[in-house]
Amino acid sequence: MSDTHLKYTDPIDTSKLSFEDFKATVLNDYRIICESREASLLGRKEVLTGKAKFGIFGDGKEVAQVAMAKVFRKGDWRSGYYRDQTFAFATGISNVYEFFSQMYAHPDIEAEPASGGRMMNGHFATRELNVDGSWVNQMQLKNSSADVSTTGGQIPRLLGLAQASKVYRENKELAYLTHFSNNGNEVAFGTIGNASTSEGVFFEAFNAAGVLQIPLAISVWDDGYGISVPNKYQTTKEDISEVLSGFQRDEKGEGYEIFKVRGWDYPGLCETYERAIRICREEHVPVFIHVTEMTQPQGHSTSGSHERYKSKERLDWETEYDCVVQMRKWMLESAIAAEDQLAKIEQQAKEFVKEEQVRAWKDYIGAFAEEKAKAIELLNAIDHKTVKTLTNRLNAIKEPNLKQIYGTIRKALRELRGVASQEKEELIGWYEKQQTVNFERYNSKLFTDTLEAPDNVAVVPVTYDEEARMVDGREVLNACFAANFSREPRLLAFGEDVGAIGDVNQGFAGLQAQFGEHRIFDTGIRETAIIGQGLGMALRGLKPITEIQYVDYLLYGLTVLSDDLASLSYRTKGGQKAPLIIRTRGHRLEGIWHSGSPMSMILGCLRGLHVCVPRNMTQAAGMYNTLLRSDEPALVVECLNGYRLKERMPANVGDFTVPLGIAEVVREGSDITVVSYGSTLRLVQEAAIELKEMGISVEIVDPQTLQPFDKLQICAQSLAKTNKLLVVDEDVPGGASAFILQQVLEEQNGYFNLDCKPRTLSAKAHRPPYGTDGDYFTKPSSDDIIETIYAMMNESNPDKFPRII
């Protein structure tokens, strides 16, 4: 893959440039702008001809993005919007060839380094990891965090990217991390469409940045619409900078510097961005740039036409105030260029973009040519009428995609069912080998799987002194965190009530005084922003623990967790990682909004995170010790009713590790296997005592983590011994218990060993009411567990276990 011929945009310093140099810089900017516009125009055609599935482009935003690119330095970060292609071209974050490779979904990261074909077009990301998963030197890159399509979803992460600069500046212990920061001088640039500022995530994060006073620069591309809906329905007063004017810094206190500039005014944009980013970088304060009077020449996307919802007057205005038209007019009037010079640049831009588009398409199709040829060779060797027809049909497709190639093979194999031949076996062998290749293309890197992955953390058993004290479970966690914060200066912890009081359950009690407010600190009530802070800081090499006070409140930050953090490694094909730990608590506290166990929501939305469900605080500490030595994200759900239960204090509280995905048999038995986790596991343990008196031997398996789940298949091994299975948890019916059944019965083939119907015992299909009685009649109790297990034994041996009721 060769690079684009573009010369990236340069900063303008009129005090040092001659007029000729100034003209050369402006003309180079115009060249980038023209190439970006041509990429938009040609990209739309590629979708309409069927070569690409969808297109969304940055036309109308080109001039402002070139101006912004001039002040974007190595070491800075972007958290942007899927219309930022001109900025990506101008900074070298991407180029025209990669832009079209992404449109075609080229699965090779050499051609499409942002995502290997996994993200739609206009979604940019720099590769922040070496092949082995170690960090690159971020100070040698112009960095872009991986885009998301969810409108406004890029802004929470922006908080953490900017806050990392403040952390690196304030914590001198981190001065050695020169590949992540230069004394915190980096600026985090965010971009967003005007309509998306109506999203709650924008307001939450915007307020947080004003509180934190961090070097963050948000640009709003305001073209007057959100798809077809005009600003009058989007924003009070139809003007986001006016709405936010109360955040403007003044002599009374901290806040933002707010700027407003027209999107077609090249000199005004260059001047505004130079001033805004200088303040942001030097004074370490947030700035807001509202870029107005932008246009969208091709409408929102290839899915529709803007002529359907814009008036003739609006369309005429957009034609006249197209930023490319206005910049061209300004250059002619200012004697920067003559008509023939500009015409030549425009023609060269057309030719160059077409060449790069053709090259990207040929490389995309060419990547599969060998597979097509091999498939046809193997199919041709088979003497079968229908297979011959399928082969000829595939051969006639000039530029087949992988679906057509492998779909033909699968159809052929179905036609060959019952046929035995060496040629068929050779086809099957090649097809199965290629499934590994296609897995790597489309299914790999849910986790980055580096040398620092949790699986590579040494397993260190817990040890106890002979005189080990019995302490509250919270004290075990507190000692664990203290040991880790002493060991690793990159660690941070923050959330509601984490700092001054050490969290509501005292896991961090006294640690802010010990390690400082710059490492353990409070936040406002803003779950989305809290998770965004952690995600952004983790991208920049820090090791944050973000606390969400109760697992029920995870809902408020779910979009960032699901759309961004959980998909980060996958959507960049291992190009970025964020070792963020989300700490929360749940289960048995009483009340509709404080006692949830929404594990099915977590399991469904957060593939890409490890999900840890420790049964006590010692297990939780071992999991934290593992995670804090690794580089993959995780959610840890502590048992809310376990903080004051007594546990022995480990002698190696900061060093012992609990491996993820390794289930544990916590009680051996012979009659029935019960799989449970968290708080309900203790209820199962209590029930097992009474059941033993009734002549029933219960084996209890604690999976410890739900993702990954029981990698050694301990559950199936137990089931082979007992032949009966009960899953107990606090989620709704068909929630996490159904997931566990699928894993044990289908993935582990446990159904072979059943001698009766497997059962689940879960909470009722609604949230628990307040009070002890509400809890008793809503969630599994020890009575429920005893009677369910007894009923299962009654089904197998009614004489020995007569019915209770």
Among this protein's residues, is 587 annotated catalytic? no
Lookup: tokens for 511: 């640690």
Please give the distance of CA 775 from its chain centroid, rounded to a whole number: 35
The Cα 184–Cα 180 span in angstroms is 9
Phi, psi of 362, deg, nearest 5: -60, -40
Give yes or no for a cis peptide into 489 (omega within 30° of 0).
Answer: no
Please give the distance of CA 212 from its chain centroid, rounded to a whole number: 23
Give the three-class secondary structure for 266. helix
The Cα 564–Cα 161 span in angstroms is 14
Consecutive H or E run containing 676: strand 672-676
Around Cβ 362, how many Cβ atoms within 10 Å? 12
Best CA proximity match to 493, nearest among 594, 483, 503, 442: 503
The Cα 108–Cα 744 span in angstroms is 36
The end-to-end CA distance of the chain, in Å, is 74
Are residues 460 and 655 in contact, defined by beta-carbon separation less than 8 angstroms?
Answer: yes
Tell me the chain's radius of gyration from C-alpha atoms. 30
Lookup: tokens for 65: 């993005």
**Position of tokens 């209820």?**
683
DSSP designation for 106: -
Consecutive H or E run containing 262: strand 257-262
Give yes or no for a cis peptide into 113 (omega within 30° of 0).
Answer: no
Are residues 188 and 536 in contact, defined by beta-carbon separation less than 8 angstroms?
Answer: yes
Best CA proximity match to 356, nearest among 44, 85, 106, 99: 99
Q: Where are the alpha helices (DSSP H) in 9-153?
A: 19-48, 62-69, 85-91, 96-103
Phi, psi of 479, deg, nearest 5: -65, -35
Amino acid identity of 458? A
DSSP designation for 384: -
Around Cβ 145, how many Cβ atoms within 10 Å? 29
Phi, psi of 193, deg, nearest 5: -75, 155
Question: What burial class does residue 108 get, using C-beta atoms within 10 Å of its C-beta: 0-12 exposed, 13-18 middle, 19+ buried?
Answer: middle
The Cα 311–Cα 318 span in angstroms is 11
Are residues 611 and 602 in contact, defined by beta-carbon separation less than 8 angstroms?
Answer: yes
According to DSSP, the residues that pair with 709 across neighbouring strands are none
The Cα 794–Cα 236 span in angstroms is 67
According to DSSP, the residues that pair with 741 across neighbouring strands are none
Q: Which position among 106, 300, 594, 610 bears the catalytic label?
A: 594
Q: Where are the alpha helices (DSSP H) in 49-114?
A: 62-69, 85-91, 96-103
Give the active site residues: 594
